[in-house]
Amino acid sequence: DIQMTQSPSTLSASVGDRVTITCRASQSISSWLAWYQQKPGKAPKLLIYKASTLESGVPSRFSGSGSGTDFTLTISSLQPDDFATYYCQQYNSHPETFGQGTKVEIK
Amino acid sequence: QVQLVQSGAEVKKPGASVKVSCKASGSIFTRSYMHWMRQAPGQGPEWMGKINPSGGSTTYAQRFQGRVTMTRDTSTSTVYMELSSLRSEDTAVYYCARPLEGGSSPFDPWGQGTLVTVSS
């Protein structure tokens, strides 16, 4: 199985900050990577797929980049609604696998 | 718009089985696979398997082989995930989800989740 490793595990930031989360795959996954946002008690919500394609309705302050094994999720200006846990997921090969998550906390 | 509605929370004893349902609405039920994931407390989601609602064929993650069974009822647009021989490590929120598009695809939408607690 492809292992997905996110860093950091926890990130403390303030409203208005630029935030970057990284995700590394244990082998090349081309651009078959998605990012999800999850809030407590809710299902994951798709933000970005194909590494950099913004899902419909997702604010433009979210962006994704990368290919191969290294990927990033950037929030250009953190908003109060963005405090949540973020997961990356590869869908290049079965089984689809997820990172362990990055929790974005209020500083 | 596709909506997935799951059954309610369950509490089971070790060794028992649990069956979780996921009802789809808003699109053609047989159009795409339905996947199941679970998420243990504090961890990322884990893919468990998928079912083709059209023909009923299934693919399971190796670690669940022999313990998980996925079925569907086309008359009610519902898929089911049954996990047997439950142990405490199976305590998690279980989700159904559909692929966003055909081929290689992320998951969107997801059901609201079903908490399964395994405790003696």
| Per-residue pLDDT reduced to its tens digit, B6-56 | 999 999 999 999 999 999 998 888 889 999 999 999 999 999 999 999 999
- Location of structure tokens 């199976």: B90
* C-alpha–C-alpha distance, residues B37 and B112, integer Å: 12
Residues of chain B contacting A, Cβ within 8 Å: 35, 43-47, 59, 61-62, 95, 97, 100, 104-108, 110-113
Q: Which of A28, A42, A27 is nearest to A87 (CA)?
A: A42
Least CB–CB distance from B104: residue in A4, A32, A42: A32
Supply the DSSP symbol for A55: P
Least CB–CB distance from B44: residue in A34, A92, A98: A98
Q: Which residues of B touch A21 (CB under 8 A)?
A: none
Tens of pLDDT along chain A (107 residues) come to 999 999 999 999 999 999 999 999 999 999 999 999 999 999 999 999 999 999 999 999 999 999 999 999 999 999 999 999 999 999 999 999 999 999 999 98
Nearest residue of B to residue A100, measured between CA atoms: B44
* C-alpha–C-alpha distance, residues B106 and B109, integer Å: 9
- Location of structure tokens 């990356």: A88
Contact B108 A46 (CB under 8 A): yes
Pairing of strands B10-12, B114-118: parallel
Identify the pLDDT of residue A63: 98
* C-alpha–C-alpha distance, residues B6 and B52, integer Å: 18
